[in-house]
Structure 1
Amino acid sequence: MIPRLQERYQNEILAALQESLEIKNPNAVPRLTKIVVNMGVGTAIQEKKHMEESVDAMSQITGQKPLVTLARKSIAGFRLREGMPIGVKVTLRRQRMYEFLDRLISLALPRVRDFRGVSRTAFDGNGNYSLGLSEQLVFPELNPDKFIRVQGMNITFVTNTSSNDHARELLTMFGMPFKSDDSTAAA
């Protein structure tokens, strides 16, 4: 079964991007390569249970088992030793990537409190976009009774283009709710 956004990309977005960006070769059209979801769990240093909760939450949100990231250096001020678990991350590709993007855009982002759109300028100069969520409970897969502790996450969209404008156009066609330019014109 092909995810809804992947089918839409192949049938509509690809041709529209090729026309609007004036690209002759269909293989040169910007596409989403992967989505990386990262959750830093600094409190896992004192409380080991927090890491297990984060692994469980991340696997429910993304649909695949997360990789536990370890500290690379020891930092005495944070009571951190090299090799201690301090975060979890998942790299989504292909169908799972499109499923996650669909759920993020249509379900999770509208549930963010006082949501006015995501920043238009959070690109890294190489066509990759990053956004942060302050709490994971915006995803409907998580039971709020089980996950009481508020935990944020970072989501990075990696594209095959090196142009921020082309990547912004791609994400806009996917339906990413960017903030409108009206606020910058009025200021």
Structure 2
Amino acid sequence: MTETAPPARLKARYLEEIRPALIGRFGYTSVMQAPRLEKITLNMGVGEAKQDSKALKAAVDQLATIAGQQPSVRRARKSIAAFKLREGMPVGVAVTLRGERSYEFLDRLVSIAIPRIRDFRGLNPRSFDGRGNYSMGVKEQIIFPEVDYDAIDQVRGLDITITTTAASDAEAFALLYAFGMPFASQGRPKGFNEAAGVEPEPAPAEPEPEPAVEEPQPEPEPAVEEPQAEVAVEEPPAEAQPEPEPDTAPAEPQAAAEEPGVQTSAEQAESDDAQEAEPEQQANGEKESSD
């Protein structure tokens, strides 16, 4: 008798925790109304397969290693001359996961692969298609630990589409958020604000501790301010005044000739002697006349 494998960890969590929480938040009347995971589609484009057949085989092996299921080759539906593409040429590989494998892949994607993305800042919460389906792109297949980096021929990206049974993007967002999808904090899908209770219930807040009663403390005595010593303010030194320049003007020449009518000191002395000699001469004349 063969033993059945235990259910996927994410599926067991959905049945026990996530589905009852969604029913309570959205008010479903039936268990079948609760959104659930339907399928996951992986698609890897191989444009160089039309020239190199080995590239197609390498892509098939890598996608089979990632998904755990053999992928199928996708071929061109019509010819396009601009891309040198003819109808029926291989252009990529794809695989669809359902049931237990879809839950197992989603668990590995959320827990292991996405945290290994370089410079990861959260998934875009607006990448829903309006009918409850979410699509995302991966630039490097080496984020999955099953892929050996030394064994690959080149780095390739792949597209991941998660299909749910949700009737709206808000319900699908609540489902994937409960699964642990790391959405960015900014932005929400269309209709998210109209739906009530989409966000997971916050953890109960811890009761605030009662404020401690502070004992009255004696008021401190007012401090007596000591008079502050006056600080002498030094006056800035006066600016040196420039010395007056010497008067270099030429001296006025003395008058060459004295003014007329003005007697000098020698002439004044001669005139005084003459006046004194006049009475003596008169007296001598009178004496001679009497003799």
Same fold (TM over 0.5): yes
**TM class by smaller structure:** over 0.9
Distance of 2:153 and 2:92 partners within structure 1: 18
For structure 2, the 5+ residue unaligned runs are 1-5, 188-291
Distance of 2:18 and 2:44 partners within structure 1: 31
Q: How does 1:168-187 map to 2 (within 5 A)?
A: 168-181=173-186
Contact 2:19/2:34 (CA < 8 Å) preserved in 1?
A: yes
Which protein has the bigger strand share?
Answer: 1
Measured against aligned partners, the alpha-carbon deviations of 1:8-56 in whole angstroms (never above 9, x if no partner) come to 0011001011111121211100011000011111111221111101000
Measured against aligned partners, the alpha-carbon deviations of 1:106-136 in whole angstroms (never above 9, x if no partner) come to 0000001101111000000111000000110
Q: How many residues align?
A: 182
2:87 paired residue number: 82
Deviation of residue 149 (structure 1)? Answer: 0.6
Task: Report the TM-score when normalising by structure 1.
Answer: 0.95
State the 4+ residue runs in structure 1 displaced beyond 2 angstroms.
Answer: none
Distance of 2:103 and 2:27 partners within structure 1: 25
Mapped pair 1:53 → 2:58: yes
Distance of 1:53 and 1:162 partners within structure 2: 38
Mapped pair 1:2 → 2:7: yes
Of the two, which has the highest radius of gyration?
Answer: 2
For structure 1, the 5+ residue unaligned runs are 183-187
Distance of 1:22 and 1:131 partners within structure 2: 29
Structure 2 residue matching 1:50: 3-state secondary structure: helix
Distance of 1:48 and 1:98 partners within structure 2: 33
1:185 paired residue number: none
Distance of 1:44 and 1:113 partners within structure 2: 28
User: Percent of pairs identical after alignment?
Assistant: 51
Distance of 2:146 and 2:89 partners within structure 1: 28
Which protein has the bigger helix share?
Answer: 1
Structure 1 residue matching 2:43: 3-state secondary structure: strand
Task: Report the TM-score when normalising by structure 2.
Answer: 0.61
2:163 paired residue number: 158
Query: What's the Cα RMSD here?
Result: 1.0
Measured against aligned partners, the alpha-carbon deviations of 1:73-97 in whole angstroms (never above 9, x if no partner) come to 1112212111011111110000100
Q: Which one-letter code corresponds to 1:170 in the other structure?
A: L
Given candidates 134, 140, 144, the residue that maps to 1:139 is: 144
